[in-house]
Structure 1
């Protein structure tokens, strides 16, 4: 695959597993620089549709294309090299913060990890700890709050250097000031015009993304 964008979604509907309900039919286009909010009630299929964009579920011919090439003719590995997802409840193995971040990019150096943490607004609570990047995450994320783990998961996704970043409820549980800081930093991450963000959430929040191409798709 020579290029990811534009991503064209045309009458796409998928199911999470054989026999599972189909997601609502959607059509939209993602260009570099876009911020798209995919909104809908819990269980409607937002995550399943996002996973389909990553080729984690079978897609019928003609429903999805990358850079003008039908998804059925694109290697799944090629898609996964360009798209990363930050789930609402990221999984962590016991180990250091650096260990967890390097799962996305094993060769990442300290400066690159710091930059990813800063964009995810995770740098302050990591470096407030005496061990910084060597702070340990215990079983099931022990030692960090749920909100901190979500932002560490976001930093890990950012470290993969995706062209499309998919965020599942990234502002859940954040106060307005922190949510605004995260919006600003993600907007800066987008500013090179080569990337896009897809946000999964229950409803559009009216957040002031500076990108002129921000829009919502309602399921």
Structure 2
């Protein structure tokens, strides 16, 4: 940071100074050269050639100074790249990882605690709940409660620092990573689309998916209508990051991609936030109707998204302060009741 400020201050000083010297030199050459041309001792061509030489010399000096200023930046950047390349992954792959899960689709958290590296206190502590195959479990809580961190432990994006996360009856740390990821479809908070077509983006979920399977996934994700309205349907172009489609369309395409993957567990990390209430309701109904055998873990900010879940987990400050159905939590959890009243009113 200090080096960057020093280099920036030096650049701010040197660039105007070099440009001043260059322009003053050109003016001086024209001034004194004009006098010599007028006296007949120097030809005009010689004067212009001399100006070109002066310009090339000064530009060489300027470029050299730029290089001298960039070398410290390059050295710092190279050091940081080297640190990244030399860093050892904290996620170790088991030598003989489990590839066949005893209870496919089951998810369980047993006394989970998680602390980010360098943090003084845990982000999550004492988290214990389970989702049986085919169930829908919702996770709600205020911003910063640890919802995204919690669901990130399921596909083992992080390793727990206490307790255990079990997928299919197997601790994720003992499972074969590829088999674990094959069983999970994750729709992140900020879905990302890649340069290509609608079809190529959906087939990131499963390369051998047929067009009929893609349309079926889009229908479940409530994306069939807008894809059909595109000029080339499934072959319509998608820009890098999905910048040529709206936020809601981007979310629905990401959900369809996860469905194409045909996982045993679907994890939605606040993936319905950009959808209007009507589309949100239709999408959830289609998911429950078309994929009854798939376990669904839903992180949501809107209470209306999770009222029909089989179980709702309420987080506050990284701890679990309530678990149950919507009706049960209205009676037993003050935190959940406050969330509901703030969104749906006191009569909810």
What's the TM-score once normalised by structure 1's chain length? 0.88
1:197 to 296, 307, 321: 296
Structure 2, unaligned stretches of length 5 or more?
1-99, 316-348
> How has the CA–CA distance of structure 1 residues 92 and 60 changed in structure 2, closer, same or farther, with 3 Å as cutoff?
same
Judge conservation of contact 2:114–2:162 (CA < 8 Å) in 1: no
More helix by percentage: 2
Equivalent positions of 1:62-141 (< 5 A) are 62-141=163-242
Judge conservation of contact 1:13–1:49 (CA < 8 Å) in 2: no
Greater radius of gyration (CA): 2
- Name the Cα RMSD after superposition: 2.0
Judge conservation of contact 2:183–2:265 (CA < 8 Å) in 1: yes
Report how many residues are paired: 213
> How has the CA–CA distance of structure 1 residues 31 and 144 changed in structure 2, closer, same or farther, with 3 Å as cutoff?
same
Residues 1:216 and 2:312 are matched in the alignment? yes
Judge conservation of contact 1:204–1:216 (CA < 8 Å) in 2: no
Residues of 1 paired with 2:302 and 2:277: CA distance?
Answer: 16
**Secondary structure of 1:99 counterpart:** helix
2:128 to 27, 38, 63: 27
Residues of 2 paired with 1:99 and 1:83: CA distance?
Answer: 20
Spell out, residue by residue over 1:24-60, the C-alpha distance to the aligned partner (whole angstroms, 9 max, x if none): 3211101012111111222322111111111121135
> How has the CA–CA distance of structure 1 residues 11 and 204 changed in structure 2, closer, same or farther, with 3 Å as cutoff?
farther
RCO greater where, 1 or 2, for CA within 8 Å and sep 6 or more? 1
Judge conservation of contact 2:139–2:298 (CA < 8 Å) in 1: yes
Structure 1 residue 203, shift from structure 2 partner: 5.2
Residues of 1 paired with 2:155 and 2:108: CA distance?
Answer: 13
Structure 1 residue 93, shift from structure 2 partner: 1.6
What's the TM-score once normalised by structure 2's chain length? 0.57
> How has the CA–CA distance of structure 1 residues 139 and 48 changed in structure 2, closer, same or farther, with 3 Å as cutoff?
same
* Matched residue, 1:163: 264
Judge conservation of contact 1:6–1:30 (CA < 8 Å) in 2: yes
Residues of 2 paired with 1:83 and 1:208: CA distance?
Answer: 23
Judge conservation of contact 2:111–2:162 (CA < 8 Å) in 1: no
Residues of 1 paired with 2:143 and 2:281: CA distance?
Answer: 24
Residues of 2 paired with 1:39 and 1:203: CA distance?
Answer: 8
> How has the CA–CA distance of structure 1 residues 142 and 202 changed in structure 2, closer, same or farther, with 3 Å as cutoff?
closer
Structure 1, unaligned stretches of length 5 or more?
none
Structure 1 residue 176, shift from structure 2 partner: 2.4
> How has the CA–CA distance of structure 1 residues 110 and 206 changed in structure 2, closer, same or farther, with 3 Å as cutoff?
closer
Judge conservation of contact 2:108–2:129 (CA < 8 Å) in 1: yes
1:8 to 88, 105, 108: 108
Residues of 1 paired with 2:302 and 2:281: CA distance?
Answer: 17
Residues of 1 paired with 2:263 and 2:213: CA distance?
Answer: 14
1:173 to 274, 286, 293: 274
* Matched residue, 1:57: 158
